[in-house]
Amino acid sequence: MDATVITQQEDLANLRNVPKSPRCSTSENLLNLNIKEHYEIIKELGRGTYGKVVLGRCKETGTQVALKVLPKTNVKLREFQREFDLSYFLSPHSNIVDTYNVAFETKSSFVFAQEFAPVGDLFDKITPQQGMSEKDAKCVIRQIASALDFMHSKKLVHRDIKPENVLIFDHEFSKVKLMDFGMTRKDGTVIRKVNGSIPYTPPEICEAVRNESITVSTSCDIWAFGVLLFCMLTGNFPWENADISDVYYNEFTLWQRRKSTKLPSQWKKFTPRLMRLFRKILDPKGERRCEIKEICKYLNDSWIQPCKNSDNEEEDMASGSDHMDELSNILQNHGIETHMDKACARTQNIGMVTVIIAYIIILHYSLFPFHLINSHKLYTNRKMLT
């Protein structure tokens, strides 16, 4: 029987005619595909500085996936491959988002596929000025601490811990996962500061100027983890920047360093046991911060002080006077002279200046944290990609 001879040209033509599949494309061997030929795009899940995430249904398998789309104008091939490889390497952990071995490019973008979280991210589960229940917060914190402990054991630093990067898979928070490893670097790597500071940025990075060299450290994740915990339990940020020019941060560091015995008012809802943890993870000196596994020692403790309803009028007046004194000090630190007559205020002989200060109290203690957390949401533009 004569054997059929296939020429090299015919062999190449046959290969070109084989249908391309995203499942046959990896970061080392990127296929150039048309995303809409292989996925039905259902909706956009998020958009950030470097790209977007869309929900797609694979036409070949019917599986819903989150497609991370990074424009080539914003991301180099090497950067894309690093993020994909790290995401895929870390995904076996139960509290890290699962990254599929599917990566391809289009004419304008690099794309890879991850599992879809139907409930969304943690940010939308934190009620402004109220936060989450202690039970739910502990459930989330335990799982994210496990994910970070795994990363740190591999000498990797996430560098972008915040609610937007925590995915929720059910309303009971029994399954949450850490995502977005675009900023992840090895512990000890020296990089340049290119971005501004946000409330999760540790003080050692806040102090650095733009383009100054900084060393990546797991202690940066510990700090951000502590700020995340505060946000989850209060619905507010503890400060705007971890810098001594920030009044709220300055108050906390005075207490943290034991230079003041007065606990700032926004921390008074927490038990002494939880404050002991905060003292360890929010130490201004990175080398003194505890490891992430330290959180496990505090999960069975009470974190929130029981509510106290005071019927004592003198107690309430004293509390109000303390707030006035505190506000007066804050205003004076900012160069604003209040000229407030404290004796007059105690006798409730309130003049126009006191009315103005009372209004500032309402604005400062109630509205400001609300605007701060929501303005940050606008600032990040639901920043799932950083």
Q: What is the pLDDT of residues 296-336, one digit of tens each?
A: 999 999 999 997 654 444 444 444 555 555 566 666 666 66
Q: Would the annotation count 68 as a binding residue?
A: yes
Instruction: Please give the Cα distance from 127 to 270 (Å, whole number).
Output: 18
Confidence of residue 237 (pLDDT cuts 50, 70, 90): very high
The answer, yes or no, to whether residue 27 has pLDDT greater than 70, is no
- Which residue type is seen at 139? C
Residue 119 has φ and ψ, to the nearest 5°, of -85, -25
Per-residue model confidence (pLDDT) at position 332: 62
Kindly report the CATH number that applies to the domain delimited by 18-114.
Answer: 3.30.200.20
Task: Give me the active site residues, please.
Answer: 160
C-alpha span between 120 and 113 (Å, rounded): 16
What pLDDT score does 344 carry?
46
| Whether the Cβ atoms of residue 35 and residue 53 lie closer than 8 Å to each other | no
**Helix (H) / strand (E) containing 104:** strand 99-105
pLDDT at 159: 96
Contact 60, 42 (CB under 8 A): no
Domains in the chain: boundaries: 18-114, 120-306, 313-376
Amino acid identity, position 300: N
What type of residue is 240? Answer: E
Paired residues of 47 in beta bridges: 52
pLDDT reading at 367 higher than 60:
no
What is residue 323's predicted lDDT score, i.e. its pLDDT?
55
Question: Angle, to 10 degrees, between the axis of helix 352-362 and the axis of helix 313-333?
Answer: 90
C-alpha–C-alpha distance, residues 316 and 55, integer Å: 53
What is the pLDDT, as a whole number, of residue 383? 40
pLDDT value for 290: 96
**Residue 72's closest CA among 107, 103, 102, 47?**
107
Interatomic CA distance for residues 144 and 221, integer angstroms: 11
Helix, strand, or coil (residue 242): coil
Is the CB of residue 362 less than 8 Å from the CB of residue 324? no
- pLDDT tens sequence across 83-140: 999 999 999 999 999 999 999 999 999 999 999 999 999 999 999 999 999 999 999 9
Domain 120-306 carries which CATH code?
1.10.510.10
| 385 — pLDDT class (breaks 50, 70, 90) | very low
